[in-house]
């Protein structure tokens, strides 16, 4: 451009430049390289081998604008372990092979290989990426995706600055040890996390006996608390992602209200809370005004809810400029709401509605209703597993997408899984009278472009007087949240009265509360094979999931890169 300086460029050059800029603003390609490797990290001061992206956990944030194409070259630098990375909340319209779900949309990426994920981020919002293989997400492979609205688009709320928060729970045992316990007889649960991490930082008490024999160092910079600096009087949008392995959490800024404005990429009818419940796989945006006494700092705090907590409050510092960022607030970190106040959590779930100016009404009726009772069971010689309608999900070693497209018949169980359970006879408040269940890789095949209702029915676990919270995540779609309820859902009576068909929020992840039910609706309009599962890492591992197929016949030739494992080796023709 130097040659043009001092003289006015001809009109056509100006026009071309304008067009080029306009086009690039509309649909940029955002390229990332993710090198996945083990690295020693001390996120809570306790040294542990973590799975990192480019040396970091959480990994780098992917930043894009609505309509952009994101290309991520994932290089597997693990020694003997495969991987696969899921782009949580991205629907993968037209790119079902880029969903990153091992066993479903692709073969695992073997060590040394580079797999290129390419997809369009078609909706603005706050999303997540994370490993979708074994329990690698728990080992640290996760991060954020921030998709901005197109330039010139006005969002239904205003703020001065945009900040991101990702919350995780953290164990000191390796995911190998955890998974071995989960699949052993007798069963050994992972237990409560040692720490809660905010943007990958927490704090463990190194003087505890359980830290002995380990490198635990409270002065390690890895575990210095996260700091969110705010300028008094300004309003902040905090994007908060919950990517916990197990814990449902409450999150708050000490002494500050939060106005909830976005959930899973959809605008919410604003509501104000002092503490926000989040479930694994959910994202929210909240607005916070820095309107408190500016002479001090405040805590950001995370606490476990729904399970009896045995984990210290996770903290970060809300730093009022110009106080020193590391100056501890003069107060104790808030303990958050009562852990076992199920009604309050149900209330929040019900309060989340679509923003009045952004309502997209659901189809008025569904073509099919699948009712899923989740129970804890004993399968295959006493292994504790989760089941849906008495079927515990097992992943095949050939991805469904490949098996269905190329008719590899031995790849999975072709018998359809059950559509419902004995909802009249089953007592959801007791442990299963017969704890036996079966394992299967069977899937739900959906009519293309049909509307599907799914009702998640919670129940008692194997232990008396215990029902857990399960955040369910659907791949390839957003769904309308038609309703939440306490107790047993009656598919013959409930829908007319209790479904919200007026302004339901759309989401990709939604909790089902203890002893409660959650109903959702979606259009099976995205050709592919899509997981739907509890987002608790251990629960999916223990069989709490299923797979939907729709329109697989509309998909063209699959990329070679997703194949090579299991039955897909039969497609080798050297």
Task: Lay out the sheet containing 248-253: strands in order across.
Answer: 227-230, 314-320, 298-305, 248-253, 276-278
* CB nearer a copy of itself, residue 113 or residue 192: 113
How far apart CA 432 and CA 502 sit, in angstroms, is 36
Q: How many CB atoms lie within 10 A of CB 286?
A: 26
Instruction: Rule CB under 8 A: choose which of 6, 213, 381, 433 binds a copy of itself.
Output: 213
* CB nearer a copy of itself, residue 108 or residue 252: 108
Instruction: Rule CB under 8 A: choose which of 147, 260, 276, 395 binds a copy of itself.
Output: 395
Vertex 568: Cα angle to 564 and 573 (nearest 5): 80
* CB nearer a copy of itself, residue 82 or residue 469: 82
* Least distance to a copy of itself, CB of residue 506, Å: 33
Contact 216/47 with Cβ under 8 angstroms?
yes
* CB nearer a copy of itself, residue 102 or residue 282: 102
* Least distance to a copy of itself, CB of residue 184, Å: 8
Vertex 33: Cα angle to 137 and 147 (nearest 5): 75
Tokens standing for residue 436:
């036996």
What single-letter DSSP state applies at residue 322?
T
Q: Residue 510 burial (CB < 10 Å; 0-12/13-18/19+)?
A: buried
* Least distance to a copy of itself, CB of residue 134, Å: 4
Instruction: Rule CB under 8 A: choose which of 6, 152, 209, 464 binds a copy of itself.
Output: 209
**Does residue 527 interact with a copy of itself by CB under 8 A?**
no
Phi then psi for 323, rounded to 5 degrees? -60, 155
Phi then psi for 145, rounded to 5 degrees? -125, 120
* Least distance to a copy of itself, CB of residue 166, Å: 22
Residues 30-49 that bind a copy of itself (CB under 8 A): 38-40, 49
Residues 76-95 that bind a copy of itself (CB under 8 A): 79-83
**Does residue 422 interact with a copy of itself by CB under 8 A?**
no
* Least distance to a copy of itself, CB of residue 405, Å: 8
How far apart CA 167 and CA 174 sit, in angstroms, is 19
Closest CA to 443 of 552, 302, 338: 552
What residues have CB less than 8 Å from 212, skipping those under 6 apart? none
Q: How many CB atoms lie within 10 A of CB 310?
A: 10
**Does residue 554 interact with a copy of itself by CB under 8 A?**
no
**Does residue 11 interact with a copy of itself by CB under 8 A?**
no
Contact 311/194 with Cβ under 8 angstroms?
yes
Residues 166-205 that bind a copy of itself (CB under 8 A): 174-177, 179-180, 184
**Does residue 443 interact with a copy of itself by CB under 8 A?**
no
Tokens standing for residue 148:
């901005």
Pairing type for strands 298-305 and 283-289 reads unpaired
**Does residue 136 interact with a copy of itself by CB under 8 A?**
yes
Tokens standing for residue 471:
């955040």
Task: Lay out the sheet containing 528-534: strands in order across.
Answer: 444-446, 545-550, 528-534, 470-474, 509-512
Instruction: Rule CB under 8 A: choose which of 97, 119, 127, 133 binds a copy of itself.
Output: 133
Instruction: Rule CB under 8 A: choose which of 89, 140, 396, 514 binds a copy of itself.
Output: 396
Count of residues interacting with a copy of itself (CB under 8 A): 52
* CB nearer a copy of itself, residue 107 or residue 165: 107
* Least distance to a copy of itself, CB of residue 108, Å: 6
**Does residue 210 interact with a copy of itself by CB under 8 A?**
yes
Instruction: Rule CB under 8 A: choose which of 25, 116, 214, 462 binds a copy of itself.
Output: 214
Segment interacting with a copy of itself, rule: CB under 8 A, options 133-141, 223-231, 377-385, 491-499:
133-141
How far apart CA 466 and CA 514 sit, in angstroms, is 8
* CB nearer a copy of itself, residue 107 or residue 121: 107
**Does residue 242 interact with a copy of itself by CB under 8 A?**
no
**Does residue 212 interact with a copy of itself by CB under 8 A?**
yes
Q: Which helix (H) or strand (E) holds 540?
A: helix 537-541
Residues that bind a copy of itself (CB under 8 A): 38-40, 49, 79-83, 107-108, 110-113, 133-136, 174-177, 179-180, 184, 209-214, 395-397, 405-406, 557-558, 560-561, 563-566, 568-574
């Amino acid at each position: 451009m130097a040659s043009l300086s001092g003289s006015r460029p001809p009109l056509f050059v100006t026009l071309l430049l304008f067009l080029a800029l306009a086009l690039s603003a509309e649909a940029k390609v955002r390229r990332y390289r993710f090198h996945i490797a083990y690295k020693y990290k001390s996120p809570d001061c306790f040294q542990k081998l973590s799975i990192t992206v480019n040396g970091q956990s959480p990994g780098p944030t992917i930043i894009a604008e609505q309509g952009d194409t994101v290309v991520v070259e994932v290089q597997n630098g693990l020694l003997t372990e495969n991987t696969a990375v899921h782009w949580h909340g991205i629907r993968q319209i037209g790119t079902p092979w880029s969903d990153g779900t091992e066993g479903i949309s692709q073969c695992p990426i073997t060590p040394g290989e580079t797999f290129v994920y390419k997809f369009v981020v078609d909706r603005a919002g706050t999303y997540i990426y994370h490993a979708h293989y074994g329990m690698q997400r728990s080992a640290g492979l996760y991060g954020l995706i921030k998709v901005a609205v197109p330039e010139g688009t006005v969002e239904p709320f205003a703020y001065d600055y945009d900040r991101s928060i990702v919350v995780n729970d953290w164990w000191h045992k390796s995911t190998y040890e955890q998974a071995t316990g989960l699949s052993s007889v007798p069963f050994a649960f992972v237990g409560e996390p040692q720490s809660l991490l905010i943007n990958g930082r927490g704090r463990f008490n190194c003087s505890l006996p359980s830290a002995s024999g380990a490198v635990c160092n409270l002065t390690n910079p890895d575990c210095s608390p996260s700091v969110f600096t705010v300028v008094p009087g300004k309003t902040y949008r905090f994007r908060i992602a919950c990517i916990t392995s197990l814990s449902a959490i409450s999150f708050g800024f000490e002494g500050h209200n939060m106005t909830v404005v976005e959930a899973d990429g959809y605008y919410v009818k604003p509501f104000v809370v002092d503490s926000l419940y989040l479930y694994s796989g959910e994202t929210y945006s909240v607005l916070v005004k820095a309107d408190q006494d500016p002479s001090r700092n405040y805590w950001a705090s995370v606490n476990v809810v729904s399970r009896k907590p045995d984990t210290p409050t996770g903290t970060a510092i809300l730093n009022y400029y110009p106080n020193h960022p590391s100056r501890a607030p003069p107060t104790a970190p808030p303990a958050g709401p009562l852990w076992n106040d199920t009604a309050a959590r149900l209330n929040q779930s019900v309060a989340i509605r679509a923003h009045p100016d952004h309502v997209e009404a659901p189809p008025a009726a569904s073509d099919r209703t699948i009712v899923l009772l989740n129970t804890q069971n004993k399968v295959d010689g006493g292994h504790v597993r989760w089941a849906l309608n008495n079927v515990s999900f097992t992943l095949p070693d050939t991805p469904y997408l490949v098996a269905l497209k190329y008719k590899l018949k031995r790849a999975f169980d072709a018998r359809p899984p059950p559509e419902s359970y004995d909802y009249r006879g089953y007592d959801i408040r007791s442990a299963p009278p017969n704890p036996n269940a079966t394992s299967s890789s069977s899937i739900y095949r959906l009519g293309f472009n049909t509307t599907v209702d799914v009702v998640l029915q919670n129940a008692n676990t194997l232990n008396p007087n215990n029902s857990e919270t399960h955040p369910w995540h659907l791949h390839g779609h957003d769904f309308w949240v038609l309703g939440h309820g306490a107790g047993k859902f009656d598919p013959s009576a409930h829908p007319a009265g209790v479904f919200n068909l007026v302004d339901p929020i759309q989401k990709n992840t939604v909790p089902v509360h203890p002893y409660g039910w959650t109903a959702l609706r979606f259009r099976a309009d995205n050709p592919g094979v899509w997981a739907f599962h509890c987002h608790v890492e251990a629960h999916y591992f223990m069989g709490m999931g299923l797979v939907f197929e729709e329109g697989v016949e509309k998909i063209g030739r699959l990329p070679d890169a997703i194949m090579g494992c299991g039955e897909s080796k039969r497609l080798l023709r050297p």
